[in-house]
Each structure stands twice: as structure tokens, then as C-alpha cells.
Amino acid sequence: MKVVVTNDHRGVRTSEQILAILAQLNHECLDLTNKEDQAVDYPDSAYEAGKAVSTGKADRAILICGTGIGMCIAANKVKGVRAAVCFDELSAKVSRQHNDTNVLCLSGDLLGPSLFRKIVEVWLSTEFEGGRHQRRVRKIQAIEEGKDPREVVNG
């Protein structure tokens, strides 16, 4: 799987570790990380990574900022992106099973190396369940297209 990784200034160390984890798991990386501790505007990084996913240059993306929240908000503005902030293995698993997330947002400040490793492993290995969840993902896609999601009846 091709995974794009990016970060702001508060995710520098975490992004280095994420890149190493992805290499150990034999995933191809598109490294868009910021290597400096100097201020970086997270919307710029989130947009670039989100576009890589939405255009098919990458299958998924992992974004790191201080809390993961800012990156998540910005990434979700890119059409075709379904981003989630995950703070544990369960949220990572459910975000994939139920929401078919293609962007994982992590906190560079609040998570330790063993926890974000587990989150990344679970998120990358969990498949989308489809079924009733497919209808809901289609409703999200309808919203992106400016349509009323209530008009989507079948999955």
C-alpha cells in the first residue's frame, strides 16, 4: 500500500517514527514530512496529503500535528478524503470498518511510540466492512457533492 505521511512542526519526531514503522511493514511511503521544528501551517500539509489520496497518488495518508484535530479538519475539506483522529486501537479499527477512512490523523503531543505504532498497525490492516456502512459512506459523498444525504436510499 502507498501511504503519504506529513506533519507540522509539532509532529516532526512522530513522523520520523511513523515512516520507520511503515518501512518495517513493507508499505511504500510518499514522504511529505517537514523535517524542521520551525512553524508550519498544518492546513497546507493536510491539503497536499489529502490531494495525494483523492487523486490516487497514494492509497492512504497519515497526518501528524499537535493534537491531530487541526490536520483532520483541514484534510476532511478535500473531496474524497475521510479523515479521523484516532487516540487508540479501537477508534482506528472502527474508523476503517465503519467509515472507510483513508486518512489517519495522529497527535504528536499526546501519544507515545508504542501506542501510535499499534494505532497505525490496526488502521492499516483493518478492512472496510461495507454493508450498511456503505450507504453511510455514500451519504458522506453526497454531502461532498452538495446533495442532501437523505436522498441516498440504497447502499
The mean pLDDT value of the chain amounts to: 93
Which among 9, 27, 98, 133 is annotated as catalytic?
A: 98
> 153 versus 134: which is more confidently predicted?
134
Burial class of residue 15 in the structure, from the number of CB atoms within 10 Å of its CB (0-12 exposed, 13-18 middle, 19+ buried): buried
What does the pLDDT look like over 39-51, one tens digit per residue? 889 999 999 999 9
Whether this prediction's pTM lies above 0.75 is answered by yes
Residue 65 among the catalytic residues: yes
The number of beta carbons lying within 10 Å of the beta carbon of residue 39 is 10
Residue 155 has pLDDT above 70, yes or no: no
* pLDDT (average), residues 128-150: 90
The single residue of 65, 72, 86, 105 carrying the catalytic annotation is 65
Q: In order of start, what are the domains of the chain with their CATH numbers?
A: 2-128 (3.40.1400.10)
Confidence (pLDDT) at 111: 85
Q: What is the pLDDT of residue 74?
A: 97
